[in-house]
């Protein structure tokens, strides 16, 4: 046993090398930043590959993509979207049904870059504890935003939504949105670990509902090899999702079916025993 | 222990307490959000929505804040509201004094809208009603001061219909004419060209959202002359011909004014001075 506690993933780096132990993290950052760049080359270089923002975008004057949560709020206010927005919703729903609902959170959403940084800094500064809140809170907030839309006839959540505020702000002018993003960052850093993405954000909560049925999952084909190093727990933004599948509690098959797994793949990176891998939700009952 | 002997009751109690905590906490947030959202339906006077925008109460539910209208505007006049601005975050607007709507014939902003927030049935830009120009300051309008500025009238894309110049006597000089710019809501699109072009330090003519600019008659009001035309004739017993007290040999006809009466038509001479003032015989 080593005298000083190792940082999560140290064993994996020693076992697989740095690059392999950061594979999914790097790919994820490429995805997040790449999507931002796709949107940014428009306003920067007048190269219009994608127009719009995460609420609704139009790619190459061909592919519409629309946020289903937002469109649901809009419909609740009593307005019907046009054809392109409806197609966009269907495309997005199908996409995330395939790759995993909250894959949106870890591979697309720009706020994840902010909260991941807060969490990294929190670990580095050794900040422990903080406020506690049920992870169910986000579903209450989700319900509340829908209710307010129904009641006020306006998409009220969009007035304060940090996700779209940041994404839209980067391409259309940030204004005071920087203060909102800073507040989310400081909240995650000092007040609550994984506070925003893991407890409060109704956008993520909505995508998790899609994730209940989505195909792509983190599987644990070698869960017998687990040596209880706890590295996966240390890096996982939704720690509660790992244990049932890893320990086979109540006969849980070796696949993470919990809807709040964000498919970030960090557990795959940091496991030195190769317990985790990406795969499909189907055909996992045997092991 | 009582607690251990009733695990079910304890669990139920815990569940109810948790639910109450969530409902109240999140309910408070929702109340705040709902009250804040009320402000979203009050568009500030200087912010004008793009062509075809639904009335504000519907617009804030239909607009999904994607910014496609902003992107497809060839003149880059549209902005998306920032969080600190006093309107619904992320919704499009333009400021007429900075850059008015150029009224593209193909209306690309409306075509780009993926929802009904910008009404797709609007195909003739001249039928758009983004707002309404109002000559707000008669004290600084140069035409009101007697100059022939006429700029708002000249730049108007719907010239001679949306803004007309109405001659009026200049009572200050007593011999000149004022050409008063008058905006007609039947044709004004609210593009804001007049406000942009107004040469005074602060524009004397401004475009306001329709809800601010337009009055409305009470529902029971009827305009007599309109009703008369609709009915094809007077709706009440014909007016008694008005009697005028005129100098001898003159007559007055409505619309024509005074004229002298040919002697043949002249009524028989009557005492001009009322009897009461004729006095007694001395």
Q: Report the CATH number that the domain containing residue B148 is assigned in CATH.
A: 3.30.70.20
- Phi and psi torsions of B209, nearest 5°: -55, 150
Range 166-185 of A in CB contact (< 8 A) with B: 168-169, 171-177, 180
Q: Taking the CA of residue A205 as centre, how many other CA atoms within 13 Å lie in the half-sphere pointing to its CB?
A: 17
Residue of B nearest to A159 (CA): B89
Structural domain contains residue B156: yes
In a domain? residue B1: no
pLDDT tens, residue by residue, B195-250: 999 999 999 999 998 888 888 999 999 888 888 888 887 777 766 667 778 888 88
Which residue range forms the structural domain that includes residue B125?
Answer: 43-130
Give the model confidence (pLDDT) of B29-40 as tens digits. Answer: 989 888 888 876
Query: Which of these three, B178, B213, B248, is where a domain ends?
Result: B213
Per-residue pLDDT, averaged over A195-214, amounts to 91
Contact list, B41 vs chain A (CB under 8 Å)? 153-154
Per-residue pLDDT, B274: 58
Which residues in chain B are closer than 8 Å to A153, comparing Cβ atoms? 41, 57-58, 60-61
CB contact under 8 A, B61 and A85: no
pLDDT at position A81 = 83
- Percentage of chain B beyond pLDDT 70 is 88
The 8-class DSSP code of residue B200 comes to S
Average pLDDT over residues A186-211: 91
In this structure, the number of other CB atoms found within 10 A of the CB of residue B247 comes to 8
What is the number of domains present in chain B? 2
Mutation target for A interface from B114, B117, B118: give the one with most A CBs within 10 A: B114
Q: Are B177 and B165 in the same domain?
A: yes
Q: Is the pLDDT of residue A2 over 50?
A: no
Virtual torsion, Cα A13, A16, A22, A23, nearest 10 deg:
180
Same domain, B138 and B172: yes
Least confident of A1-5, A110-114, B116-120, B186-190: A1-5
Among A256, A246, A257, smallest CA distance to A224 is for A246
Boundary residue ending a domain (B130, B155, B174)? B130
Distance from C-alpha of A163 to C-alpha of A179, rounded to nearest angstrom: 13
**Inside any domain, residue B268:** no
Closest CA to A6 of A235, A231, A228, A226: A231
Q: How far apart are CA A140 and CA A205, in angstroms?
A: 9
**Sequence-distant contacts of B76-81: CB under 8 A, at least 24 apart:** B77/B101, B77/B102, B78/B50, B78/B109, B79/A172, B79/A173, B80/A168, B80/A172, B80/A173, B81/B47
**Domains of chain A (ranges plus CATH)?**
10-18+216-280 (3.30.70.20), 26-209 (no CATH)
Asked, for residue B158, whether it belongs to a domain, the answer is: yes
In this complex, do B82 and A52 lie within 8 Å of one another by their Cβ atoms?
Answer: no
Cα dihedral sign, B36-B42-B43-B45: negative
> Based on the domain organization, do B119 and B135 belong to the same domain?
no
Q: Tell me whether residue B255 is in a domain.
A: no
Query: At B271, is the pLDDT very low, low, confident or very high (cuts 50, 70, 90)?
Result: low
Could you tell me if B62 and B98 lie in one domain?
A: yes
B276 touches chain A (CB under 8 A): no
* Domain annotation covers residue B270: no
Per DSSP, B158 falls in state T
Q: Residue B71's domain is classified under what CATH number? A: 3.30.70
Q: What chain B residue is nearest to A87 in terms of C-alpha separation?
A: B114
Same domain, B120 and B58: yes
Chain segment A99-108, per-residue pLDDT in tens: 988 999 999 9
pLDDT at residue B43, as a whole number: 80
The ipTM, to two decimals, is: 0.83
| For residue B7, pLDDT beyond 70 | no
A36 in contact with chain B, both atoms CB, cutoff 8 A: no
Q: Which of B165, B190, B213 is the last residue of a domain?
A: B213
For B135-192, write each residue's pLDDT tens digit. Answer: 999 999 999 999 999 999 999 999 999 999 999 999 888 889 999 999 999 999 999 9
**A169 Cβ contact partners less than 8 Å away, ≥ 6 residues apart:** A175, A177, A178, B82
Q: B120 and B140, same structural domain? A: no
């Amino acid at each position: 046993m080593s005298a000083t506690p190792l940082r999560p993933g140290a064993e994996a780096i020693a076992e697989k090398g740095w690059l392999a132990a950061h594979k999914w993290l790097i790919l994820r950052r490429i995805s997040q930043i790449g999507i931002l760049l796709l949107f940014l080359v428009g306003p920067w270089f007048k190269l219009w590959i994608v127009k719009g923002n995460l609420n609704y975008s139009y790619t190459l004057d061909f592919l519409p993509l629309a946020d289903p949560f937002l469109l649901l709020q809009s419909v609740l206010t009593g307005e019907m979207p046009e054809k392109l927005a409806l197609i966009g919703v269907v495309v997005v729903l199908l996409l995330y049904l395939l790759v995993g609902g909250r894959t949106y959170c870890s591979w697309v959403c720009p706020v994840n870059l902010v909260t991941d940084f807060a969490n990294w800094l929190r670990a580095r500064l050794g900040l422990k504890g903080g406020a506690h809140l049920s992870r169910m809170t986000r579903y209450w907030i989700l319900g509340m935003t829908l209710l307010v839309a129904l009641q006020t006839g306006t998409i009220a959540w969009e007035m304060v939504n940090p996700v779209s505020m940041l994404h839209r702000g980067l391409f259309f002018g940030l204004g005071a949105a920087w203060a909102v993003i800073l507040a989310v960052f400081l909240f995650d850093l000092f007040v609550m670990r994984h506070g925003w993405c893991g407890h409060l954000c109704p956008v993520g909560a909505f995508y998790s509902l899609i994730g209940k049925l989505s195909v792509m999952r983190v599987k644990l084909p070698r869960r017998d090899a687990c040596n209880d190093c706890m590295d996966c727990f240390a890096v996982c933004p939704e720690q509660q999702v790992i244990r049932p599948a890893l320990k086979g509690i109540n006969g849980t098959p070796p696949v993470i079916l919990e809807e709040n797994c964000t498919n970030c793949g960090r557990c795959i990176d940091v496991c030195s025993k190769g317990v985790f891998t990406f795969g499909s939700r189907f055909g996992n009952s045997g092991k | 222990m009582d607690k251990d002997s009733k695990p079910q009751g304890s669990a139920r109690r815990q569940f109810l307490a948790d639910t109450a905590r969530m409902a109240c906490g999140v309910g408070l947030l929702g109340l705040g959000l709902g009250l804040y959202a009320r402000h979203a339906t009050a568009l500030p006077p200087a912010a004008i929505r793009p062509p075809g925008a639904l009335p504000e109460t519907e617009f804030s539910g239909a607009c999904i804040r994607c910014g496609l209208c902003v992107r497809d505007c060839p003149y880059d006049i549209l902005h998306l509201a920032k969080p600190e601005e006093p309107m619904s975050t992320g919704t499009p607007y333009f400021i007429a004094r900075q850059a008015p709507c150029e009224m593209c014939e193909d209306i690309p902003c409306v075509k780009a809208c993926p929802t009904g927030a910008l009404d797709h049935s609007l195909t003739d830009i001249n039928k758009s009603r983004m707002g309404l120009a109002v000559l707000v300051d008669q004290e600084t309008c140069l035409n009101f001061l007697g100059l022939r500025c006429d700029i708002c009238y000249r730049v108007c894309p719907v010239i001679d219909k949306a803004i007309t110049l109405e001659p009026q006597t200049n009572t200050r000089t007593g011999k000149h004419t004022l050409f008063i710019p008058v905006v007609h809501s039947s044709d004004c699109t609210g593009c804001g060209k007049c406000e942009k072009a107004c040469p005074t330090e602060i524009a004397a003519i401004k475009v306001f959202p329709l809800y601010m600019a337009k009055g409305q008659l009470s529902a029971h009001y009827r305009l007599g002359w309109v009703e008369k035309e609709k009915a094809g004739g007077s709706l009440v017993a014909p007016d008694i011909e008005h009697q005028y007290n005129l100098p001898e040999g003159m007559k007055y006809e409505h619309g024509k004014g005074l004229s002298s009466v040919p002697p043949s038509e002249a009524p028989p001479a009557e005492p001009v001075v009322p009897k009461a003032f004729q006095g007694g015989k001395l």
